[in-house]
């Protein structure tokens, strides 16, 4: 086609960071080479960013015909149904833990909807039967029962980290429920036929995960002495710099150890810094968390697959508005608004009279101010009318509509990225926030969240959900980075590691990492008159093309149910993007 939508001559997200960060003197570390500084810190001038709009192919219907613009102007008429390629494994032992509360009453409390009530359940054999839901993905081939992992290995494929977890879970169930008399049990290997067809490395990994599950069972029963002995074995055999399975086990064993210390009074209470889903607390690594996170955003597809379709949805809902007020509930670097700014400057009709951004938060006021300065300088370079405000609160329950200074004729846009779950433990804050947003009557609300259930009141359910979710993330990092890569080690330790510890070890308000799936958010949002808005073909096409720009992008799975886009790794959901309007 002459005007192929969303054409990507070269995927240049790094150029965006370079040009944007050049306005701020982004922190450089002397321990890195000049090449790394240029790649990650951003030292080039604005000229390095050629038209982002043409490169990223945003579509606006108001571009008049006959004038060349930098947005895609048409879509393939035979746009294929947006569905992922089949995952390499069928639904297995996690499916039994799907948090599916009944939403029959319109008078349900936030705690009832989001599963907030703390009712600890034991780590029992009866609960473990959930692991075998749907026969745990067992398939019948030529009259012989074979599991997915055996099929994969027979085909010469090494098992993924998540598959190792499934195999270990299946075998743990078998041994937990197996009834063997005393005489025969003395002559049966403790794993028996469990490792038929597995490589030596995979066998060792399965054994290691089996030890971890056994330790978690003992913790669930509060048999801390037995659990501690098992954890000592896990810690001896695992490593934070080993293969992905060893890394996952290392962090989960540490989290179980912390839970024992908490319950026995040997651990001082603490709260995750800034109520982050992936806490940035921690020290001792040689790479700053900012650089590690930037590397993560550049080289892994998840962030960008969420970012560009989200911007496309915003553009489509403010296409004729000239006064735009963006409310960002967790602004971070603000790079998404750099991309939006450049897109808005490409408008021919309805030029922007003012772009206002209000950053809302309870911590990091200085960082928000610095982000505002960067954005203001970038807007000035584009000759785009711009203003920036910071709303810094001690608690989200104090937020009111007066904090936003909205004006007549402004189109309000709400951007919420992985912030809502941190307020589940404080329902008054979450309910107040949604109530204020409803009063602002936004043109669109973009919600990006972790697509996982880390809020089950059952310690066991929560442990298993987190184990499989983070196994997929660690497996992904294995494809993109060397085992001793310092960016990877920092990311796993400061972000993923702290998240694991918070889910597994903490309770009450200290447990802020409480992700829930989109089905749960839908039920909650409905209480505030929010309805899901469909994602356009342009937005879906953006996501599909972005994935193809990455190495190992074929492992990145995309699913769309019409009103929610989910991006996953080898079939395991990681993040979701949804857009909302208010009735």
Rounded CA separation 279/77 (Å)? 44
Query: Using 50, 70 and 90 to split pLDDT, how confident is the model at 562?
Result: confident
Judged against a pLDDT cut of 70, whether residue 455 lies above it is answered with yes
**Which stretch of 84-93, 224-233, 288-297 has the lowest confidence by average pLDDT?**
84-93
What is the pLDDT confidence band of residue 236, given thresholds at 50, 70 and 90?
A: very high
Residue 5 has pLDDT above 60, yes or no: no
Distance CA 380, CA 385 (A): 8
Read off the pLDDT of residues 200-211 as tens digits, 9 standing for 90 and up: 899 999 999 999
Please give the C-alpha separations between residue 539 and each of 250, 308, 309, 560, in angstroms, as whole numbers: 39, 8, 4, 11
Q: How confident is the model at residue 100 (pLDDT cuts 50, 70, 90)?
A: very low
Q: How confident is the model at residue 13 (pLDDT cuts 50, 70, 90)?
A: low
Which residue's structure tokens are 């192919």? 57
Which is more confident, 255 or 52? 255
pLDDT at 4: 36
Mean pLDDT of the chain: 75
Q: What CA–CA distance (Å, rounded) separates 24 from 10?
A: 25
pLDDT at 183: 35
What are the DSSP calls for 8-60, one per residue? -SS--HHHHHHHHHTTTT----TTS-HHHHHHHH--S-GGG---HHHHHT---
Q: Are 101 and 112 in contact (CB under 8 A)?
A: yes
Residues 560 and 182: their CA atoms lie apart, in Å, by 53
pLDDT category at 320 given cuts 50, 70, 90 is very high
**Which helix (H) or strand (E) segment is 412 a member of?**
strand 411-417
Q: What is the pTM of this model?
A: 0.77
**Half-sphere exposure in the Cβ direction for 415 (13 Å, CA):** 26
The partner residues of 392 in beta bridges, in order of sequence, read 361
**Tens digits of per-residue pLDDT, 140-161?**
222 333 344 444 544 456 789 9
By the 8 A CB rule, do 267 and 261 touch? Answer: yes
- Interval 52-77: pLDDT, tens: 343 445 666 544 333 332 323 333 33
How would you class 223 by CB atoms within 10 Å of its CB: exposed for 0-12, middle for 13-18, buried for 19 or more?
Answer: middle
Q: By three-state DSSP, how is residue 63 classified?
A: coil
282, exposed or middle or buried, with CB in 10 Å at 0-12, 13-18, 19+? middle
Contacts of 196 (CB under 8 A, 6+ apart): 150
**Which segment of 43-52, 298-307, 553-562, 565-574 scores lowest on mean pLDDT?**
43-52
pLDDT at 215: 95
User: How would residue 186 be classed by pLDDT, with cut points 50, 70 and 90?
Assistant: very low
Contact 399, 433 (CB under 8 A): yes
Q: What percent of the chain has pLDDT over 90?
A: 49
Q: C-alpha angle 28/33/36, rounded to 5°?
A: 70
Higher pLDDT, 189 or 426: 426
Residues 6+ apart with CB under 8 A from 56: 6, 8, 308, 339, 343, 542
Residue 41 scores a pLDDT above 70: no
Is pLDDT at 329 greater than 90 in this prediction?
yes
* Residue in this structure with the two tokens 């009111």, named with its chain if needed: 400
Measured distance CA(493)–CA(486) in Å, rounded: 10
Residue 315: strand, helix, or coil: helix
Percent of the chain at pLDDT exceeding 70: 66
Residue 358 has pLDDT above 70, yes or no: yes
């Amino acid at each position: 086609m002459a005007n192929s939508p969303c054409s990507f001559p070269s995927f240049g997200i790094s150029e965006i960071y370079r040009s944007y960060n050049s306005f701020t003197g982004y922190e450089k570390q002397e321990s890195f080479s000049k090449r790394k500084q240029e790649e990650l810190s951003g030292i080039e001038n604005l000229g390095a960013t050629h038209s982002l709009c043409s490169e990223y192919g945003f579509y606006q219907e108001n571009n008049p015909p006959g004038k060349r613009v930098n947005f895609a102007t048409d879509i393939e008429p035979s746009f294929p149904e947006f569905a992922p390629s089949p995952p390499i494994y069928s639904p297995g032992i996690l499916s039994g833990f799907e948090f599916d509360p009944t939403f029959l009453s319109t008078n349900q409390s936030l705690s009832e909807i989001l599963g907030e009530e703390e009712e600890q359940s034991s780590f029992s054999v009866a609960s473990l039967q959930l692991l075998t839901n749907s026969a745990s993905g067992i398939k019948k081939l030529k009259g012989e029962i074979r599991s997915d992992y055996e099929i994969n290995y027979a085909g010469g494929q090494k098992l993924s980290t998540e598959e190792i977890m499934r195999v270990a879970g299946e075998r743990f169930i078998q041994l937990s429920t197996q009834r063997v008399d005393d005489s025969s049990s003395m002559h049966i290997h403790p794993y028996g036929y469990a490792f038929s067809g597995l490589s030596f490395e995979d066998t060792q990994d399965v054994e290691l995960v089996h030890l971890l599950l056994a330790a978690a069972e003992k913790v669930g029963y509060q048999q801390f002495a037995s659990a501690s002995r098992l954890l000592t074995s896990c810690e001896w055999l695992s490593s934070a710099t080993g293969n992905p399975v060893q890394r996952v086990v290392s962090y989960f064993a540490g989290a179980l150890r912390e839970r024992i210390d908490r319950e026995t009074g040997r651990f001082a209470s603490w709260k995750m810094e800034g109520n982050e889903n992936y806490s940035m607390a921690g020290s001792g690594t040689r790479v700053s968390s900012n650089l590690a996170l930037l590397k993560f955003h550049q080289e892994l597809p998840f962030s960008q697959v969420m970012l560009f379709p989200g911007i496309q949805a915003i553009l489509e809902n403010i296409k004729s508005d000239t006064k735009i007020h963006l409310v960002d509930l967790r602004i971070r670097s603000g790079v998404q608004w750099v991309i939006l700014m450049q897109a808005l400057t490409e408008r021919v009709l309805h030029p922007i009279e003012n772009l206002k951004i209000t950053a809302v938060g309870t911590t990091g006021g200085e960082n928000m101010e610095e982000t505002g300065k960067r954005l203001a300088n970038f807007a000035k370079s584009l000759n785009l009318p711009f203003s920036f405000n910071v709303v810094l609160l001690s608690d989200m329950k104090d937020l009111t509509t007066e904090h936003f200074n909205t004006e007549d004729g402004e189109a309000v846009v709400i951007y919420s990225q992985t912030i809502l779950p941190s307020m589940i433990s404080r329902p008054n804050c979450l309910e107040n926030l949604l109530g204020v947003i409803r009063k602002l009557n936004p043109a669109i609300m973009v919600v990006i969240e972790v697509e996982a259930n880390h809020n089950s009141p059952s310690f066991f359910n929560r442990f298993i959900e987190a184990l499989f979710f983070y196994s997929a993330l660690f497996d992904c990092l294995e494809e993109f980075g060397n085992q001793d890569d310092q960016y990877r080690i920092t990311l796993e330790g400061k972000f993923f590691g702290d998240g694991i510890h918070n889910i597994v070890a903490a309770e009450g308000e200290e447990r802020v990492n409480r992700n829930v799936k989109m089905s749960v958010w839908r039920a909650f949002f409905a209480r505030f008159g929010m309805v899901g808005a469909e994602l356009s073909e342009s937005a879906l096409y953006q996501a599909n093309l972005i994935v193809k720009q990455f190495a190992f992008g074929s492992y990145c799975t995309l699913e769309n149910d019409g009103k929610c886009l989910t991006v996953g790794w080898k079939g395991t959901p990681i993040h979701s993007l949804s857009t909302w309007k208010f009735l």
